[in-house]
Structure 1
């Protein structure tokens, strides 16, 4: 994959995407079968839905994706005044609200916002714009939202109330310190059953887990630099699936990282939870 992203365990299979090559994948780990679908635009994620098919995050906005028909139907357009923006990462909360972020595809301007898709309607979350949004990840209880400011090297935590409005953000994790200078940039985020937060690290050669107090509990080193996101799946949701990227690597770096862009797995002690379908 050029830019693997958006891994998510749906029923008995892993879904993920290659953003730049505009492709959706479905992997059956038992049979080893791999299906793929071409998307009409850059695609950041797919998530389950209470309606027909899946919800997909394309460059222009969320779409209803019907795998059997290989069709993508727009639900709403996002950032129409920002042609360099695209959707990047997403998650659902226990109420079925779908939280997703945009980013500057040129990775410069602070034009990335976080939106909420709730029962077919899209609204801004109120989170301060940044260049590259990642996550958000939602705690199992639904009361905490973790928003990743990738270029700012921070994870910001917000409260979420029963109506889906967020409170003021506070810094949950900061990777700007000298002791973490070689950790890379925090990328996609995922919460597990105990409220721990798994982060992929772009340029950091690792996935790391932090507990709800922000303490590092697990570090899994991988043989590639750009680790984008972790999903928790498998029969007991104790298998981590990590997507990675090869984009931007030089010929020398690719020669040293022949597995760059591959999908990796490793076991975890704390399982994931079923992904709540979007209420759309």
Structure 2
């Protein structure tokens, strides 16, 4: 267990900071404040930042192959063009439900999670969307759909439904998953698994909500590192920077009666490891 030498990339008071994603084409990091309905960008080479207010709570933003972003929103998945115009790709509003984490698969499809605002068991889903908007349900009995990632050879998909206190793993082939099983379990008192990222060696890095930490697990599921952070609600992590060696970490303030001054900020641990290049959404 270590307290790493982290930097504050962006000092902020995000209600629910989430979804760090490295946008390689633009050389910037994307991240969200889900409940604040804000899309943030940060360029580490210049320090330049921007904030865009979205019309709905936004769970994820990912680069698109044709430019612009794909957004996982409360009422479905939409496309934001570089000129600021927006259109729905898949519109499916469900009362009491919102978007949460999402990830782009090796084939360019978007795997988008949802959850109920009250976090009711079975109220969320995990869906797969192709570039033409075709949507298929992967999982339909989810409470809080969270971290998603693939092994370097694409043969495995990792997935978190936070209240289960597990990181699960599936066999993955051609956009389909099977043989769900437990990769690692998170013990009582250590928090709940939230977002995850997979590095170039196949290790799985897991953010712990109410655990104040990021854990690194080897491909065999052995705990390799515990990176302790100063605020408890650590939500997600992703590698970024030109060489994909810096670990960016989002945090949240929601529900904290006496939040740490850095709660809601974007943190970064330089030279933490080596990330995998993430494909853009094929739409």
Name the TM-score, length of structure 2 as normaliser: 0.91
- 2:209 aligned to 173, 191, 202, which one? 202
Distance 1:75 1:167 in 2: 27
Instruction: Choose the corresponding residue for 2:189, options 178, 182, 189.
Output: 182
**CA distance 1:125–1:217, shift in 2 (3 Å):** farther
Partner Cα separation in structure 1 for residue 191 and residue 210 of structure 2: 5
Structure 1's 125 and 155: CA in aligned 2 closer, same or farther, altered over 3 A? farther
1:267 Cα deviation from its structure 2 partner: 2.8
Question: Is 2:180 aligned against 1:169?
Answer: yes
Question: 1:3 corresponds to which residue?
Answer: 16
Offset of residue 172 of structure 1: 0.9
1:263 equivalenced with 2:261 (yes/no): no
Shift of 1:67: 4.4
Who is 1:35 aligned against?
A: 50
Question: Are 1:238 and 2:245 an aligned pair?
Answer: yes
> How large is the Cα RMSD of the aligned pairs?
1.4
Q: Which residue does the alignment assign to 1:220?
A: 227
Hey, what's the Cα distance between the residues in 2 that align with 1:84 and 1:40?
A: 16
Q: Do residues 47 (structure 1) and 62 (structure 2) align?
A: yes
Runs of 5+ consecutive residues of structure 1 not aligned to the other structure = none
Q: Which has the higher strand share?
A: 2
Corresponding position: 1:99 with 2:111: yes
Deviation digits for residues 235-256 of structure 1 (CA, Å, limit 9, x no counterpart): 2111001000000111xx22xx
Deviates more, 1:29-38 or 1:123-132: 123-132
Please give the alpha-carbon distance, in whole angstroms, between the structure 1 residues aligned to 2:225 and 2:202. 14
Q: Number of matched residues?
A: 268
TM-score, normalised to structure 1, is 0.91
C-alpha separation in 1, matches of 2:121 and 2:73: 20
Task: Say whether 1:273 aligns with 2:280.
Answer: no
- Assess if the C-alpha contact under 8 Å between 2:246 and 2:273 holds in 1: no
Partner of 2:75: 60
Does the aligned pair in 1 maintain the 2:126–2:142 contact within 8 Å?
Answer: no
Find runs of 4+ consecutive structure 1 residues off by over 6 angstroms: none
Specify which structure has the bigger relative contact order, considering alpha-carbon pairs within 8 angstroms and separated by 6 or more residues.
2
CA distance in structure 2 between the aligned counterparts of 1:32 and 1:24, rounded to whole angstroms? 16
Unaligned runs of 5+ in 2: 1-13
